[in-house]
Amino acid sequence: MKLPQAFEEKMKGLLGEDFDSYIACFDNPRYYGLRVNTQKISVEEFRRICPFEIRPIPWIHNGFYYDGEKEAPSRHPYYFAGLYYLQEPSAMTPADRLPVHPGDRVLDVCAAPGGSGCAGPVFCGILTAGLQAAPPMLFEKRSRKLHSFFLFLLYDMIEMKSIFEEGDCVLWLRS
């Protein structure tokens, strides 16, 4: 893979002696993953009915690898029924590891609405079926609203401090 020169230079500076290993990893096979929606089906039941081969992701209780070169889970009725979400395995980790509990307030400032916004609430059992079934245009609208909110957030962090109390979670991943 040919990366932009400016990007390579920046990464060389950040990674130092690990840069060559980083570049070499682009030649490795890609990992494909899915996360079972435990609001709709148990992990055990999904494993029983899954029509394609899956392997557990060791650090995600409801995450599985699948062979994306052979399978197309995005075309299966179970996907459209919301039984699972397709997500790169490493992207499942932050929301799964946050100590979120029912009643907690979480400000998710990740790249886009999606995996982290659903994984935490599903884990806590507080995500409603209506949100899970929301069409993509609602997520786009939500994304625009979140963008406006984050501009406000950056403008007035002191006011926001009063909304989030000690112990609340903020998931902020910088890309």
CA angle 148, 149, 151 (to 5 degrees): 65
Q: What is the pLDDT of residue 128?
A: 33
Q: What is the largest CA-CA distance in the chain?
A: 51
Contact at 8 Å (CB) between 92 and 120? no
CA distance 106 to 78: 29
Q: What is the pLDDT of residue 114?
A: 53
What angle do the packed helices 89-97 and 115-124 form, to 10 degrees? 50
Q: What is the pLDDT of residue 46?
A: 97
Q: What is the pLDDT of residue 136?
A: 42
Q: What is the pLDDT of residue 68?
A: 93
CA distance 19 to 56: 30
Q: What is the pLDDT of residue 124?
A: 42
- List the helix and strand counts (H, then E) for the chain: 9, 6
Q: What is the pLDDT of residue 145?
A: 54
Per-residue confidence of the chain (175 residues) as pLDDT tens digits? 788 999 999 999 999 999 999 999 888 888 999 999 999 999 999 999 999 999 999 999 999 999 999 999 999 999 999 999 999 888 888 777 777 777 776 666 655 555 555 554 444 444 333 333 333 444 455 555 555 555 444 444 444 455 555 555 554 444 3
The length of the chain, given as a count of residues: 175
Selection from 122, 63, 69, 68 nearest residue 91 by Cα = 63
Q: What are phi and psi of 4, to 5 degrees?
A: -60, 140
Q: What is the pLDDT of residue 97?
A: 78
